[in-house]
Amino acid sequence: MQEELELLLDSLEVYSPSTKEGAMSALLQDRMRRLGFRNVRTDEAGNAIGEVGSGRPHLLLCGHMDTIPGRLPVRREGDRIYGRGAADAKSPMCAMISAASQFDGPLHVTVACVTREEGDSLGVNTLIDAGGDYDAAVFGEPGGAQRLAVGYRGRIEARLTVGTPGGHAASSWLHPSAVDHALQVFSRMKAYERRKQVDDDHFRSVNISLTLIRGGSYSNVIPRRCAVTLDVRIPPGLSAHDVKSELTAIVENHAHRSPGVALKLAFVEPTEPYEAPTDSLVVRTFQRSILMNLKTRPIFTHKTGTGDMNTMAERMGIPCVTYGPGDSKLEHTDGEFVEVSDYLNSISVLKGVLGEFGKLSSAR
C-alpha cells in the first residue's frame, strides 16, 4: 500500500498542465523502471510507456498525465488526498501503473501515460499512429471503483459566420443585422436539438450550446459581421456526418430565404460517439473483478462528454472502456481529491481485470 500511495503523492507534487508534462513523463518512466516494467520509453509526444506480461491478448491501459492549469497544494486529510489531478486523472493513471506492476501472467499489458488529453489529444493520437496490436483498451478517468464507463457522446465544434452590409441603427429596418441572423440560425438549430431529445436521458440526446459569440463594432452601427462557436454533442446512434448534414441544411435554408446575407458554417474535426458492447471481453472482466474484489455489483455509466476512448475506438476499432477512482464531479475544480480507499479498491479491481482477461480469453 505504501508504494502505491507514494506513486500517487509524488505524481501530484509534479505540476503538469497540458503541453508541460516533461517532468511528469520523466518521473513516471523512472518509476516504471524501478517497478520492473520492460521496454520503458517515451515518444515524440512525450508519452511515458512501459510493458509487463507476455503473450496474447494485448491489453492497453491508458491514462493521461496532464491536468488543467492551476496549482493546488497537495495534502492528505484522513481518507482524502487533495491536489491538482487527484481526480482528473492522476489517481486513475497511478492505479493502472500500480496494478500492472504486480502482474506477470499470460497477458501482454502496455501502460501508456499520455500527454495533452486536456488539449488537442496529441498523446493518444501519437500512440495510435505508432500502431500496436491491442485487443482492447482501458482509459483512466474518475468514476469510482464500482463504476465502469461504457459510453461517451461525440462532439463537433461548429463555427458560424454571418456577413451583412450593416448600416445606421437609427434606420435598423433597412439594414439586416449579422447578429440577428446568427441568433435566428441558432434558434432553428435549437429546434433541431429538441427533435433529437430523449426524455430524461442526456446521453441519448443531441445538445447544441452557443459557447462564443462576437459581433458589432460600434454602439450605433448595425453589426456587419457575427461569428458564433457552437459546441455540439452527439449520442450513439447518430454520426458526426449525420449531424453536420442537418446543421448545414439549416444554414443553407436560412441563406436561401435571406438575400444579401452571407452565411458560412465550418466544422472542426469531429469526435464520434462510442458505446462499448456489453458482451465484450473487457466489459465482462470488469464485471467479474468488481464482483469478486468489491463484493458488489458493477454500475455501468454513460458519460455525456468525450474522451480519448472515443478516438481510440474509432481509429483502431477495438473495444474500449473507461475506469478509475475519484468523483467525476470534481474534475476541473479547485476542490479535487480522491479517497484513499477508492484508489486502493480500484487497484484491486484492475489487478483482477488483468488476471481475468487472460483466463477468459483462453477459454473462448
The topology under which CATH files domain 2-152+273-363 is: Aminopeptidase (3.40.630)
The topology under which CATH files domain 154-267 is: Alpha-Beta Plaits (3.30.70)
What is the predicted pLDDT for the residue at 104? 84
> What does the pLDDT average to over 298-327?
94
Flag whether pLDDT at 101 surpasses 80: yes
User: Is residue 180 flagged as an active site residue?
Assistant: no
Task: Look up cell 521496454; give the residue.
Answer: 39
- Please give the residue that has the higher pLDDT: either 316 or 174: 316
C-alpha cell, 3: 508504494
User: Is residue 117 flagged as an active site residue?
Assistant: yes
State how far the Cα of 323 lies from the Cα of 194, in Å rounded to an integer.
31
What is the predicted pLDDT for the residue at 269? 84
What is the predicted pLDDT for the residue at 276? 96
Tell me the pTM: 0.90
Domains of the chain, by residue range, sit at 2-152+273-363, 154-267
**What percentage of the chain has pLDDT greater than the value 90?**
90
**What percentage of the chain has pLDDT greater than the value 70?**
99
State how far the Cα of 105 lies from the Cα of 354, in Å rounded to an integer.
8
Q: What value does the mean pLDDT of the chain take?
A: 95
> What does the pLDDT average to over 30-38?
97
Catalytic position from the list 4, 117, 339, 356 = 117
**Burial of 358 by CB count in 10 Å (0-12 exposed, 13-18 middle, 19+ buried)?**
buried
Flag whether pLDDT at 363 surpasses 70: no
The region of weakest confidence among 45-54, 284-293, 305-314, 336-345 is: 305-314
What is the predicted pLDDT for the residue at 185? 98
**Those residues with Cβ within 8 angstroms of residue 240's Cβ, 6 or more apart along the chain or in another chain:** 154, 156, 234, 270, 271, 272
Flag whether pLDDT at 364 surpasses 60: no
What is the predicted pLDDT for the residue at 305? 86
C-alpha cell, 164: 451583412
Cβ 215 vs Cβ 178: under 8 Å: yes
State how far the Cα of 263 lies from the Cα of 254, in Å rounded to an integer.
9
* Of 125, 315, 305, residue with least CA distance to 232: 305
Catalytic position from the list 4, 66, 308, 356 = 66
**pLDDT by residue (tens digit) across 179-238?**
999 999 999 999 999 999 999 999 999 999 999 999 999 999 999 999 999 999 999 999
Would you say how long the chain is, in residues? 364
Residue type at 2 in one-letter notation: Q
Hey, CA dihedral for 300, 303, 309, 311, is it positive or negative?
positive
Flag whether pLDDT at 362 surpasses 80: no
Confidence label for 55 from pLDDT (cuts 50, 70 and 90): confident
Q: One fold for both 2-152+273-363 and 154-267?
A: no
Cβ 109 vs Cβ 291: under 8 Å: no
**pLDDT by residue (tens digit) across 66-85?**
999 999 999 999 999 999 99
Cβ 352 vs Cβ 292: under 8 Å: yes
* Buried/exposed 70-108: b ≥16 CB within 10 Å, e otherwise: eebebeeeeeebbbbbbbbbbbbbbbbbbbbbebeeebb
β-sheet bridge partners, residue 152 = 274, 303
Q: Could you write out the three-class secondary structure of the chain?
A: CHHHHHHHHHHHHCCCECCCCHHHHHHHHHHHHHCCCEEEEECCCCCEEEEECCCCCEEEEEEECCECCCCCCCEEECCEEECCCCCCCHHHHHHHHHHHHCCCCCCEEEEEEECCCCCCCHHHHHHHHCCCCCCEEEEECCCCCCEEEEEECEEEEEEEEEECCCEEHHHHHHCCCHHHHHHHHHHHHHHHHHHCCCCCCCCCCCEEEEEEEEECCCCCEECCEEEEEEEEEECCCCCHHHHHHHHHHHHHHHHHCCCCCEEEEEECCCECCEECCCCCHHHHHHHHHHHHHHCCCCEEEEECCCCHHHHHHHHHCCCEEEECCCCHHHCCCCCCEEEHHHHHHHHHHHHHHHHHHHHHHHHC
